[in-house]
Structure 1
Amino acid sequence: MERSVVHIDMNTFFVSCERLTNSELNGIPLIIGGGDRGVVASCSYEARRFGVRSAMPIQMALRLCPQAKVMKGDMELYSQLSHSITEIIQEKAPVVEKASIDEFYLDITGMDKFHGSYKWTNELAQTITKETGLPLTFALSINKTVSKIGTGEGKQKQNLQIPPEMVQQFLNPLSVQKIPMVGDKTFQLLSRIGIRTIETLSKMPCEVLQQMIGKNGIELWKKSNGIDNNPVEPYTERKSISTEHTFTQDTIDIDKLKRVILGMVEKLAFQLRSEQWLASTVTIKIRYANFDTETKQCRVQYTSADYILTKTVTELFDKLYQRRMRLRLIGVRFSGLVRGTYQIDLFQDTEEMLALYEAMDKMKSRYGFDAVMRCAGASFKPNTKNEILKRKP
């Protein structure tokens, strides 16, 4: 049986959320992002017409569109509305994957036996917009890749249904950049040998692509031919990552404890970014020498940034550790995870900070976590028998 997979993308989500609370923002070029040295987190279609794009430096965006209004953004509002959308979809759809704060995949295979799949999806889309006031685009096709490309092509135009017999005809004229896994470097590499459209890519020998790009070459060839067997992964907000550190000797040294906390947060934040997670809940755990255990948690804006998570965990620790008794264990957990990239929350970050995180992450990925780390966090030694690194469903 051919699968029926829907991709739902909330149109310029951050911008739409702001306009929902302030109608004066309607119809004007709007940029959501950090200060003068920050980056664009989202922008309106009016700003995009001037060439403004996500992750672009704010200064460059304002040179392209000087009349644009720049807003810092309200991640608490965006998170609340994202949660509302998720609840609506989960109530009606059989299998839902929350790919990011504003993207969803639905597997509605077999729905045609009872309803028209496109009609059902259209009714769901209307319900979401009616109950939240937020616009969206969806595409219905045979797998996640084709559906995601479909929403990109349907933006500001219409929702799309791409039946099996039309998949290759739909994909062929599009740029290879439309394939989700193709970044700038891969596109430049393919362009140098004359591969610019999906049709040309689909006709390349799979072995040649593998030699050029490595193991991703096979996956790229499959996607260009409309092949994607990746399942829609059911979404749950209970996923978390955590780590605990048991001291060889109970300690009351505050400086040492905070250095350990810094190292723990740095490791977990790196894991978040590596696996493309954003956390919305932070928990600190302490165990005293007499084995009394206490925890404290708080909600944060969806993030994977070290400096935000470190500040939050440190503040929680200061509030929790009040008994001045020696500690034998300390733990940190990030939960309420959603899929998303690092830039989604960086309203206050600068280009330099983004570049620094990217460079550090690359070194850690290639040479191991210990390859580069903050001196203050060196008291935390990962990969030892005292550390427990968990991922909980």
Structure 2
Amino acid sequence: MTRAIVHMDLDTFFVSCERLTNSKLNGLPLIIGGGERGVVASCSYEARTFGVRSAMPIKMALRLCPQAKVMKGDMELYSKLSHDVTQVIEEKAPIVEKASIDEFYLDITGMDKFYGCYQWTNELAQSITKETGLPISFALSVNKTVSKIGTGESKPVGRLEIPESMVQPFLNPLSIQKIPMVGDVTFQLLSRIGIRNIQTLSEMPAEVLQRMIGKNGLELWKKANGIDNNPVEPYTERKSISTEHTFLQDTIDIKNLKSILIGMVEKLAFQLRSEEWLTSTVVIKIRYANFDTETKQAKIAYTSADHTLTRAVTDLFDKLYQRRMRLRLVGIRFSGLVRGTYQINLFEDTEEMLSLYQAMDKMKRRYGFDAINRCAGANLKTKQKDVP
């Protein structure tokens, strides 16, 4: 049976959320991000016509589009509206994967026997806009790669169906940069030997491509040929990452306890960014010397930033640890995970902050997690275990 895979993407999601709460922003070139030293988290199509794009320094964006209105992002609002859209989709779709805060994959294979797949998807998109007020684009095809590329090509407010017979004709003329796994480095490498569109890439021997770019070569060749067997993985907010720290001796040293917590946050936040997750729920756990165990949790705006998560964890600890009895264990869990990267939450941070995180993460990946750490979390040396 031919698969029917839908990719749905909320159009300029952050901008659309802001316009939903303030109609005076409609039609204006709008930039969502930090201050003058920050970076662009999102921008409207009106701003994009001037060359503004995500992750661009705000200063550069304003040079390109000086009339743009810059707004600080509101992740609490975006998280709520993302949750609202998720609920609408989950109520109607059989299998849903939430790929990020603003995009979804749906597997509706077999639905054409009872109801046209395209008609059903179109009505779902209309329901989302009607119930949430947010515009959404989609593409329906035979796999995740083709449908995702299709959504990008159909925006804004696009509705596209790419049947199996049209997959290669649709892909062939497009730039290889349209393939999700092709970054700047791979694009420059392939461009130098004349491979710039997907058709040329698809006709290249897979073995040669694998020798050129390594283990991802075969996967890239498959995507260029419209082959992608990856399943739609049902989304669940039960996914989490966590770690616990058991003390060699029970302690009541508040300064040391907070230092330990900061180190734990740094480790988990690095894992979030490495695996491209954002968390929306922070849980802290403490176990007293008499084995009494208590937990406390808080909802936060989606993030993977150390400093944001550290603030949430230490605030929870202050509220939870009230008995002033010695502790034998502390634990942290981040849950409510969605796919996404740190840069979408750069509303208060500067370009320098983003560069710092990227540099630190690069060093950790190359030389190991302990290659560089914050001084405040440097006491994390005693017994600790990660919890799946």
The two structures have a TM-score, normalised by structure 1, of 0.97
- Distance in 1 (alpha carbons) for counterparts of 2:378 and 2:157: 53
TM-aligned CA deviation for residue 390 of structure 1: 2.2
Partner residue, 1:123: 123
- Distance in 1 (alpha carbons) for counterparts of 2:156 and 2:124: 18
Partner residue, 1:188: 188
Alignment length (residue pairs): 388
- Distance in 2 (alpha carbons) for counterparts of 1:292 and 1:63: 59
Matches within 5 A, 1:1-393: 1-156=1-156, 158-381=158-381, 386-391=383-388
- Distance in 2 (alpha carbons) for counterparts of 1:38 and 1:335: 28
Structure 1 residue matching 2:9: 3-state secondary structure: strand
Structure 2 residue matching 1:373: 3-state secondary structure: coil
Tell me the amino acid that sits aligned with residue 311 of structure 1. Answer: R
Gaps of 5+ in 1: none
Structure 1 residue matching 2:97: 3-state secondary structure: strand
Moved more, 99-108 or 319-328: 319-328
- Distance in 2 (alpha carbons) for counterparts of 1:157 and 1:16: 12
- Distance in 1 (alpha carbons) for counterparts of 2:114 and 2:368: 52
Tell me the amino acid that sits aligned with residue 292 of structure 1. Answer: D
TM-aligned CA deviation for residue 200 of structure 1: 0.6
Tell me the amino acid that sits aligned with residue 241 of structure 1. Answer: I
CA contact (8 A) 2:244 2:329 kept: yes
TM-aligned CA deviation for residue 342 of structure 1: 1.3
- Distance in 2 (alpha carbons) for counterparts of 1:295 and 1:36: 40
Structure 2 residue matching 1:250: 3-state secondary structure: strand
| C-alpha distance after superposition, 1:293-335 (max 9, x if no partner) | 1111111110000000011111111121122111100011111
Tell me the amino acid that sits aligned with residue 54 of structure 2. Answer: S
The two structures have a TM-score, normalised by structure 2, of 0.98
Structure 2 residue matching 1:215: 3-state secondary structure: helix
- Distance in 1 (alpha carbons) for counterparts of 2:164 and 2:387: 41
TM-aligned CA deviation for residue 157 of structure 1: 6.5
| C-alpha distance after superposition, 1:67-113 (max 9, x if no partner) | 00011011111111111110111111110000001000000000110
Structure 2 residue matching 1:185: 3-state secondary structure: helix
- Distance in 2 (alpha carbons) for counterparts of 1:247 and 1:11: 48
Structure 2 residue matching 1:214: 3-state secondary structure: helix
Structure 1 residue matching 2:199: 3-state secondary structure: helix
- Distance in 2 (alpha carbons) for counterparts of 1:93 and 1:388: 38
| C-alpha distance after superposition, 1:337-390 (max 9, x if no partner) | 111111111111111111111111122122221121112212113xx7x32212
- Distance in 2 (alpha carbons) for counterparts of 1:285 and 1:263: 15
- Distance in 1 (alpha carbons) for counterparts of 2:274 and 2:326: 34
CA contact (8 A) 2:136 2:157 kept: no
Tell me the amino acid that sits aligned with residue 388 of structure 1. Answer: K
- Distance in 2 (alpha carbons) for counterparts of 1:126 and 1:197: 34
Tell me the amino acid that sits aligned with residue 323 of structure 1. Answer: R
CA contact (8 A) 2:135 2:157 kept: no
- Distance in 2 (alpha carbons) for counterparts of 1:368 and 1:228: 32
TM-aligned CA deviation for residue 156 of structure 1: 2.5
Tell me the amino acid that sits aligned with residue 62 of structure 2. Answer: L
Tell me the amino acid that sits aligned with residue 219 of structure 1. Answer: E
| C-alpha distance after superposition, 1:254-293 (max 9, x if no partner) | 1111110011000000010111110001111111111111
CA RMSD of aligned residues (A): 1.0
TM-aligned CA deviation for residue 158 of structure 1: 3.2
Moved more, 231-240 or 366-375: 366-375
| C-alpha distance after superposition, 1:116-135 (max 9, x if no partner) | 10000001001111111110
Deviating above 2 A after TM superposition, structure 1's stretches of 4 or more consecutive aligned residues are: none
TM-aligned CA deviation for residue 145 of structure 1: 0.3
Structure 1 residue matching 2:278: 3-state secondary structure: strand
TM-aligned CA deviation for residue 13 of structure 1: 0.5
